[in-house]
Chain A
Amino acid sequence: NAGVMQNPRHLVRRRGQEARLRCSPMKGHSHVYWYRQLPEEGLKFMVYLQKENIIDESGMPKERFSAEFPKEGPSILRIQQVVRGDSAAYFCASSPRPGATEAFFGQGTRLTVV
């Protein structure tokens, strides 16, 4: 049973470009969470999705950021018109049900905006 798969592992974008980060949850997991880790900080919750639904986006910046988890395929975190402050590690976690106490995390995507 493969773990949570994130790709790419590293992504470099110029200011103003779009970044697309992908997350394939563990088999049988229909709940996906995205977190962002800025340098020297802990992980900060961004968004919680189930298949085709956004359940909680209270941690998402109001502009330029969006997330989806379609019926088929991976979850996508999309950042439009990236700025230097978006440089961070973005982690995805999945769980088989809501409120699972052991969310499994992917290895993360490290986004660098130059």
Chain B
Amino acid sequence: DQQVKQNSPSLSVQEGRISILNCDYTNSMFDYFLWYKKYPAEGPTFLISISSIKDKNEDGRFTVFLNKSAKHLSLHIVPSQPGDSAVYFCAASPYNQGGKLIFGQGTELSVKP
């Protein structure tokens, strides 16, 4: 039962353009959503999070949007840079479960110069 889904395994974007990574979830009992970035042979690195009571959070080039009615969130990266090329994971934190995270399958972003 995949509660958090990233349906696009890969995404290719031109440098300077916007990257939009998508994530869907099936369970309404999440209180936070997070995005992590992962390079090969390294651990995930936290990027940005959003509370379930918000619909937008922005940090520099990264913005996360949450649409609760559609159970959908997205990460926007503007402008995209070659160094952004990595695998991006969406994760959700269930209520009252002590920080346990449910991860999506990941989307590999490639930013071409």
Chain A residues packing against B (C-beta within 8 Å): 4, 6, 31, 33, 35, 40-45, 48, 55-56, 91, 93, 95, 98-108, 110
B43–A107 contact, CB under 8 A? yes
Count of chain B residues near A, Cβ 8 A:
25
Query: Interface on chain A toward B: helix, strand, loop, or mixed SS?
Result: strand
Q: Of B49, B89, B97, B105, which one neighbours A101 at CB under 8 angstroms?
A: B49
B105–A42 contact, CB under 8 A? yes
Q: B79-113 vs A: 1/0 string, CB under 8 Å?
A: 00000000001010100011111111110000000
23 contacts between A and B (CB under 8 A): A6-B43, A31-B98, A31-B99, A33-B99, A33-B101, A35-B103, A42-B89, A43-B101, A43-B103, A44-B103, A45-B100, A45-B103, A48-B98, A98-B98, A101-B32, A102-B49, A103-B46, A105-B43, A107-B41, A108-B41, A108-B42, A108-B43, A110-B41
